[in-house]
């Protein structure tokens, strides 16, 4: 099984919302669509779901044009999509019926998701009587009610407290274990790093970075150094050609050009009889990579206009 998005584009008059986006989910797992507000993520998702007509390209599932209704694609929208004055139990039942589920399957599935989402106390409540977090839980239950093989999650953890965030994360892990194909859009970079193996970063409708997240990080090398010790590390760092990028009571951070600088710092600190409490050398975070590529794209655009 596979999902292939091939060269999809969308224009509104002279405005290009999406330009030639391509990516592929060859194996089960989570693929991330990232970008600033207005980058084209929602346009791409709506095209994949068949909610928006594309100007060019194709969306293939197992080699054929994707039919989201036939394939029962599960979709968790960023915006609230519940009927505010209808009971939650009736809404989940209705969404299951739309998916063509049998009555016995619906009863079992609805009971399961009420229990799994810890929503049993809200079965007969109207949607507008629920908190934003509980409404989000109902929407995720609706997306999963028919046990779809393909899931699209748009800002799944938006508005959730830490307890409900953990519930969502555990459910996403369960779906991964069931070999689901998942597209996730999320502004919380640690969440993407936790779940996603491959990413696309969109900016002004174009992909500015794509690929395996681990390989992307490896290509940068371990360039971030964090040190905490019982003495003043700054003079020793200066000897090694290092200037701090951040100084806090907890630690000092440096950006290094090569790992040999970090090794020299450690050796010199040890020679000065400093006790090293923390020494961490790591690859850049997704947040840092994201900001770098968006900034680079903006600078290139400015230069092109000059």
Residues 148-178: tens digit of each pLDDT? 999 999 999 988 899 999 999 999 999 999 9
- Phi (first) and psi of residue 157, to 5 degrees: -100, 10
292 inside domain: no
Cβ-based neighbours of 144, under 8 Å, separated by 6 or more: 74, 113, 151, 171, 175
Plot region of 148 (φ>0 → left; ψ -120 to 50 → alpha; else → beta)? beta
**What are the φ/ψ torsions at residue 183 (nearest 5 degrees)?**
-105, 125
| Assigned domain for 297 exists | no
Q: Are 88 and 123 in contact (CB under 8 A)?
A: yes
Q: Are residues 240 and 202 in the same domain?
A: no
Number of structural domains the chain divides into: 2
262 plus 208 within the same structural domain:
no
Helix (H, G, I), strand (E, B) or coil at 302: helix
Same domain, 114 and 208: yes
pLDDT tens digits for range 41-91: 999 999 999 999 999 999 999 999 999 888 889 999 988 788 999 999 999
What is the helix (H) or strand (E) element at residue 201, kind and residue range? strand 198-203
pLDDT greater at residue 146 or residue 69: 146
Supply the CATH number for residue 261's domain: 3.30.70
Burial 193-211 (b: 16+ CB within 10 A, else e): bebbebbbbbbbbbbbbee
d(CA 93, CA 97): 6
Same domain, 92 and 18: yes
Residues 208 and 226 in one domain: no
Q: What is the pLDDT of residues 205-235, one digit of tens each?
A: 999 999 999 999 999 888 899 999 888 999 9
Q: Which domain range does residue 228 map to? A: 222-282
* Domain presence at residue 287: no
Same domain assignment for residues 269 and 136: no
Write down the pLDDT at residue 302.
84
Residue 238 lies in a domain: yes
Domain finish residue from 195, 217, 239: 217
199 and 245 part of one domain: no
Q: Has residue 296 been placed in a domain?
A: no
137 pLDDT band (50/70/90 cuts)? Answer: very high
241-286 pLDDT tens trace: 999 999 998 899 999 888 889 999 999 999 999 989 999 998 989 9
CATH of the domain at 68: 3.40.50.300
């Amino acid at each position: 099984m596979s999902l292939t998005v091939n060269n999809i584009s969308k224009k509104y008059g002279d405005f290009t919302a999406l330009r030639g986006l391509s990516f592929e989910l060859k194996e089960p797992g989570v693929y991330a669509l990232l970008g600033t507000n207005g980058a084209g993520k929602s346009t791409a998702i709506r095209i994949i779901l068949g909610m928006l007509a594309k100007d060019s390209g194709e969306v293939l599932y197992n080699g054929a044009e994707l039919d989201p209704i036939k394939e029962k694609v599960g979709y968790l929208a960023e915006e609230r999509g519940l009927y505010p004055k209808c009971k939650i139990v009736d809404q989940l039942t209705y969404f299951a019926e739309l998916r063509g589920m049998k009555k016995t399957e619906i009863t079992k599935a609805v009971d399961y998701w009420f229990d799994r989402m810890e929503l049993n106390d809200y079965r007969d409540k109207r949607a507008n009587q629920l908190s934003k977090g509980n409404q989000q839980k109902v929407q995720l239950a609706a997306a999963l009610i028919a046990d779809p093989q393909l899931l699209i999650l748009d800002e799944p953890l938006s508005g959730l407290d830490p307890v409900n965030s953990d519930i969502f994360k555990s459910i996403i892990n369960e779906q991964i274990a069931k070999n689901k194909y998942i597209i996730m859009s999320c502004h919380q970079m640690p969440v993407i790093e936790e779940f996603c193996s491959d990413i696309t970063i969109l900016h002004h409708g174009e992909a500015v970075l794509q690929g395996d997240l681990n390989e992307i990080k490896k290509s940068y090398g371990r360039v971030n150094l964090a040190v905490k010790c019982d003495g003043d590390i700054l003079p020793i760092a200066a000897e090694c050609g290092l200037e701090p990028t951040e100084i806090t009571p907890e630690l000092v951070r440096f950006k290094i050009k090569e790992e040999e600088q970090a090794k020299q710092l450690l050796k010199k600190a040890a020679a000065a009889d400093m006790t090293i409490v923390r020494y961490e050398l790591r690859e850049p975070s997704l947040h840092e990579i994201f900001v770098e590529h968006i900034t680079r794209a903006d600078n290139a655009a400015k230069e092109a206009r000059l």
